Structure 1
Amino acid sequence: MSLRGRVLGITLLLLVAALLSSNGLVIGQLRHDLVGQVDERIRGLATVAARLPSLPEVAVEDVPQVRATVEQQLIRDVHLAYLGPDGGVDRVVRAAAGRPPELPRLDAAAVAGRGGRPFRVPATGGGDGWRVVAVPRAGGDGSLVVAGSLGVVNRTVRQLTGRVLLIDSAVLALLGIAGWFAVRGGLRPLRRIEATAAAIAAGELSSRVPELAAPRTELGRLSAALNGMLDRIEAGDAARAASEERMRRFIADASHELRTPLFGIKGFTELYRMGGMPERADVDASMSRIEREAARLVELVEELLLLARLDEEGTAVPLHLTPMDLRTLAADALHDLRALDPQRPVTLTGPGGGPPGGAPVLGDEARLRQVTSNLVGNTVAHTPPGTRVRIGVGTEDGVAVLEVHDEGPGMT
């Protein structure tokens, strides 16, 4: 069963219980009051009849005093009889219209013990009961019994019970219909939350639960909690995407940085294998160069690890500035190009041509060497074999310049 059905069902059950309880109490109280009215009337009738002289054994209509009292008391069905001292019926002054009451033994002691209080007896052969009052006669000879039928009371209670049940049924039906729409409207915010959750499950992490109610209500607190959870989920997803992007960038940087030294070492070894180093001095120079490239590889690996940590922490790479000359980097770049592509013509000139010159700077040699290695690697990778390359170094307008110029098609 849906939540709406459960809420409506529980509400209707509580209403049914409340209506039955309240109506039961009202009907019970009404019955008690009606029986009390019957008791008052038969008690008054008994008081008047007990003070009258002995009535002849005729119908009550022939006795004006009793008739007037009965009509005044508005008791439609009355049973009135004289009893002897032993409790036997001497004569019946007014007989019951229907089934008479089934009286217990009412001798003088029993009548005195009842003290004039009304009590209930069944009807002879079943049916509506009777309320009875037994009082001593004025002359002290026997007693008088007056019984009032509860038929009117029972019919009134039955009619009222039927009408109340009909009214309650109509009220419950109307309340059920109104409650259905009310619960449906009250649960509309939950359906909006459900729609938002479905959108998030489909991948729309930017969706948020609207403010459905005041922050201090249950729905308001639920919306705030869900939106907070969604913010953390979206932030975590963004952090994961950023971490993956940093990892891809780190791999690309590592591949780019390590390629040039590795190609340099590979070029020197191939040059040695092909017999391009006939002299011992050439071998020693190449081995020295290979050693420096290997040291650069180790340094690059350490720097890449440092770069990854700094990128994760969001801080900049520290620079170690020292006086240096860019001609050292230019000469190393020349050796790298010749080792990577021995057939490629490479010249060392000044900026824009002419003789090379000094280029003193205050810089981080490791970072500058890293930039130069990237330029050399890009030249070898992105220009056709045999393309002329010029490395220029010197000063221009008081500024130290190091350039790597090729005659390739360029990048688009």
Structure 2
Amino acid sequence: MSLRLRLLIGILVLAAAGLLTLDFVSYRALENHLSDRVDEQVQSAAMSLAPELREKAGIVDIGPVFPSGSGFDHPPQGGSSGRLGPGGGLPNELPPGTFAQLKSSSGEVLATAVFGYGTTSVTRPDLSGDIPVSEFGQPLKTVTVGARGGSGTQFRVSAVADQDGRVTYVAVPTSDMKETLDQLLLIEAVVTAAILIALAGLAWWMIGIGLRPLERMSETAGEIAAGDLSRRVEDEDPKTETGRLGISLNTMLHQIEDSVRKREQSEEKMRQFLADASHELRTPLASIRGYAELYRMGAIPEGPEADRAMDRIEKESARMGDLVDGLLTLARLGELPEPVRRPVDLAVVASECRDDAKAAAPDREFSLDTAEDVTVQGDEDQIRQLLANLLRNAIDHTPEGTPVETVISAGGKTVEIEVRDHGDGIDEENAELLFERFWREGESRSRKTGGAGIGLAVVAAIAEVHGGHASALNSPDGGAIFRVELAREPASEISQVVPIAD
């Protein structure tokens, strides 16, 4: 069962309960009121008709039927004197079918009268039952009796005894009261049904309006499930429940779409990474296999040719080892736990890296300029590798004898490292690509030593792990500047780089 239908049924049940309660209370109130009116008519008829019955029975009026002080010793309202109304049948305020009968103390019927019909074939009350008789001087008691023959008509009857023991029975039919109550019941039924039908239509419409945002959310969720992650829930009033739900759903959908997009990008980069790694490994492996097969087949004679082949195998093996080491470094940088962070004095580390570079390239001049207090919180081994890769990059991509400068400056929350060479510079359009894996620039900065294009990717990954970033630009004096910015203190949440997928 749908929510809309459940809400509608609940509303209708509550409304029906309220309306039926109101109908019942109204019916009972009117019934009691009309019953009191009929009782008043019975009392009025008793006072009006008793003298007529005594006269009809030939009884000399020797005293009042109702003693003074009984509440019935005054004429009924409306000016009736107790005489028959126009046409000889009925006092003005008594309903047609009013029945009166006078019995002796022994139960003999002395006189009977039915007023308002002009015929004797009328419905008469059944007076055979136990009807309480009000003694002379006591208030009248009124009871309900049926009709003779079981016609269904009911009467309100009172019986009063006079001083001589004669009993006067007066019965007023409740047909008018029943007809009025039946009409009320019909009206209540029709009105209640009409109200419930109108309420059902109005409630169905209003519930539909209230649930329309949920239906749109359901449609949007279906489209998202079908693969359209760009779909969003329409904006609603944030003060409403559906509005707040829509805002929460849109926030969740943004996060899901972002996660899926990042996953797809990671998968694409993974495929590209594997393709690039396969390509880079294929070349040295092919060279090693080729020289090995030539040597095995005897195509390379002993002597200088064999030495040259072994030298090529050694260099290609070293190149392949460097490639694997670079990949391993990138993978380790992406592992979750966070790197061990201790105070690292960049001036000391940079000085040691400069000495190592001098040993590797004695024909070059390496200068170092550092500011005071260039200490950062980080992993010393990773920072050392970052500086070594920057210096190695400058050596590999500039002419022999080109000087290399290292400048370390301090800011408020960061420390900046710059490695400047005096080579041919870079193409600034490709500045960001320099830090991509396996990417190499053109002939101006060609690979001389068999590098695989991973060194600067390692630099960028280490910088990001330490809350910074790497960039490259051309120097106004010529050559290239590779700049790395590191945070002095680790951020509250440092991004963990996953180089294989990122």
Which category describes the TM-score, using the shorter chain as reference length? 0.5 to 0.7
Q: Aligned to 2:84, which of 62, 67, 90?
A: 67
What does residue 204 of structure 1 align with?
Answer: 228
What does residue 248 of structure 1 align with?
Answer: 271
Once the two structures are superposed, residues 57-106 of structure 1 have per-residue CA deviations (whole angstroms, 9 ceiling, x without a partner) of 39xxxx96343696354333211122333444332244685311101356
Structural RMSD (CA) = 4.5
Normalised TM-score (structure 1): 0.67
**Closer, same or farther in 2 for the Cα pair 1:307/1:249, shift >3 Å?**
farther
1:155 Cα shift?
Answer: 1.5
**Closer, same or farther in 2 for the Cα pair 1:129/1:17, shift >3 Å?**
same
Once the two structures are superposed, residues 97-121 of structure 1 have per-residue CA deviations (whole angstroms, 9 ceiling, x without a partner) of 53111013568x8545996221100
What does residue 35 of structure 2 align with?
Answer: 35
1:10 Cα shift?
Answer: 5.0
1:243-322 maps to which residues of 2 (within 5 A)? 243-273=266-296, 275=298, 277-280=300-303, 283=306, 286-287=309-310, 290-291=313-314, 293-310=316-333, 322=356
| 1:372 lines up with 2:453 in the alignment | no
1:3-402 maps to which residues of 2 (within 5 A)? 4=4, 7-8=7-8, 11-12=11-12, 14-47=14-47, 54-57=54-57, 65-67=82-84, 71-94=91-114, 97=117, 98-105=122-129, 111-112=134-135, 116-125=140-149, 126-137=151-162, 139-215=163-239, 217-273=240-296, 275=298, 277-280=300-303, 283=306, 286-287=309-310, 290-291=313-314, 293-310=316-333, 322-323=356-357, 324-325=360-361, 358=401, 371-372=447-448
Worse-superposed segment, 191-200 or 113-122: 113-122
- The structure richer in helix per residue is 1
Once the two structures are superposed, residues 128-184 of structure 1 have per-residue CA deviations (whole angstroms, 9 ceiling, x without a partner) of 1000111222x2422222111001111122223333333444444444444444343
8 Å CA contact retained: 2:223, 2:231: yes
**Closer, same or farther in 2 for the Cα pair 1:359/1:37, shift >3 Å?**
same
Q: Letter of the aligned partner of 1:372 in structure 2? A: K
1:12 Cα shift?
Answer: 4.2
What does residue 339 of structure 1 align with?
Answer: none
**Closer, same or farther in 2 for the Cα pair 1:99/1:370, shift >3 Å?**
farther
Distance in 2 (alpha carbons) for counterparts of 1:311 and 1:73: 106
**Closer, same or farther in 2 for the Cα pair 1:234/1:23, shift >3 Å?**
same
**Closer, same or farther in 2 for the Cα pair 1:85/1:129, shift >3 Å?**
same
Structure 2 unmatched ranges of 5 or more: 59-79, 339-348, 365-396, 407-418, 420-437, 454-476, 481-502
**Closer, same or farther in 2 for the Cα pair 1:398/1:199, shift >3 Å?**
closer
8 Å CA contact retained: 2:12, 2:200: yes
**Closer, same or farther in 2 for the Cα pair 1:252/1:102, shift >3 Å?**
same
What does residue 458 of structure 2 align with?
Answer: none
Worse-superposed segment, 289-298 or 299-308: 289-298
Fraction of identical pairs, as percent = 35
Tell me the secondary structure at the aligned position of residue 75 of structure 1: coil
Normalised TM-score (structure 2): 0.56
**Closer, same or farther in 2 for the Cα pair 1:140/1:269, shift >3 Å?**
same
Distance in 1 (alpha carbons) for counterparts of 2:159 and 2:7: 57
Distance in 1 (alpha carbons) for counterparts of 2:452 and 2:176: 119
